[in-house]
Amino acid sequence: MTTTLTLPKWYDLHVHFRQGDLIKPLIEQHLQMGCAGVVAMPNTIPPVAKVFEDEPGNDLSIQEYNKALLEAGGTAFKNIIIPLYLTASTTPHMIERGAKGGLLKSAKYYPPHATTNSNKGVDLSYYMDNGVLKALQDNGVILNVHGEIHGLKGEEFFGRETNAEVSFYREVAPRLVDKFPNLKIVTEHITSKAGVEFVQQAGPNVAASVTPQHLLYTIGDLLQGLKYHLYCMPLVKYEDDLEALRKAVTSPDNIKFFAGTDSAPHAVKITSCCGAAGCYTGGIAPQLYADAFEKAGIDLGGPSGQEAFKKFLCLNGPAFYGLVVSTETFILTKEPQEIGLVRTPSGTITPLPIGMQSTPATKTTLPWTVR
């Protein structure tokens, strides 16, 4: 008998829609995979570093970016949350005004030069001391954290015993929660056993988003044949990290870990100087998450496995963000689905599973399909 799950439409609580004529096809892909709403990341050019258009500076505002998303088809979502990109220009007054005006629901911390378009980020200690994080806490605004330390030496950035993420969750994150115990924090796209342990040991105000790629692959998968479509930040890690992530998301009592794809489109993934960080999983994320659950040994044909999957994909995230679980449903079925390259006005995007093929390909088949 074919395994079929009927699920509430889910929230992708970390996604990149970029700008211009890319937005429409990317939103369409998310709607096709049963998304009820999104947290749309603000690392555009310029960044979404203002709340209101009337604030000084040349950065985009949440007002403007929200309008662009709605005009490109975002009206089909029940909720769109756009985090404020924290920069050296962010002030406590901006936080308070944005929260009271109803536009500001979350704010995003990027370590400087950590990932795509994160060059305007500054060290987290800056916001700890200048009143910005206190303003987030006092006004009920969620902090979305890219949990890495940057500017490290090579062996510190990615070593067998430590790396940029492990250092953050062992050294910086504990100080953050100690100083701001009532601040709600989402540790974004965690990749490490240390990150899992931090979230589990922290109080109810700390939760984590997890991507499909970090539940499916390790650093060996990235390096064998240099599968650059798996290159994302933070980097995929080792087997024990993968095991810790899988155990956390599939646990029957999981209430802290939820889906956030970090889906990021790149028509040009490799340039003459470097690789663009980000994996594209738009349109296929529930299928990939289901594959990861099965690889973790979960029987999605049984009630306990289905309930664990439903909590991770559909329930935990909305509960943490204070969103209403959708009354609409979508169907996930254990049937093969062929996928191809994604054609957009800005170029062709390669979905992650196609990019993971051992030889150049334009299509592949997934074990699950969304209807």
Catalytically active residues are 262
Task: Give residues with Cβ within 8 angstroms of 18, minimum separation 6.
Answer: 26, 44, 265
2 φ, ψ (degrees, to nearest 5): -70, 130
Q: Whole-angstrom Cα distance, residue 147 to residue 168?
A: 6
**What is the enclosing helix (H) or strand (E) of 308?**
helix 303-310
Q: Whole-angstrom Cα distance, residue 273 to residue 277?
A: 13
User: Whose CA is closest to 14, among 208, 277, 171?
Assistant: 208
| Secondary structure class of 48 (helix, strand, coil) | strand
Task: Give residues with Cβ within 8 angstroms of 255, minimum separation 6.
Answer: 311, 316, 319
51 and 94 Cβ atoms separated by less than 8 Å: yes
Q: What is the largest CA-CA distance in the chain?
A: 60
236 and 222 Cβ atoms separated by less than 8 Å: yes
Q: Which amino acid is at 213?
A: Q
Q: Given strand 329-333, what is the order of strands in its sheet?
A: 4-8, 329-333, 369-370
Q: Whole-angstrom Cα distance, residue 323 to residue 46?
A: 28
Cα four-point dihedral sign 87, 91, 94, 100: positive
- Paired with 265 in beta bridges are none
Q: Whole-angstrom Cα distance, residue 234 to residue 251?
A: 23
User: Whose CA is closest to 348, among 284, 269, 277?
Assistant: 269
57 and 89 Cβ atoms separated by less than 8 Å: yes
Q: Which 8-state DSSP code applies to residue 281?
A: -
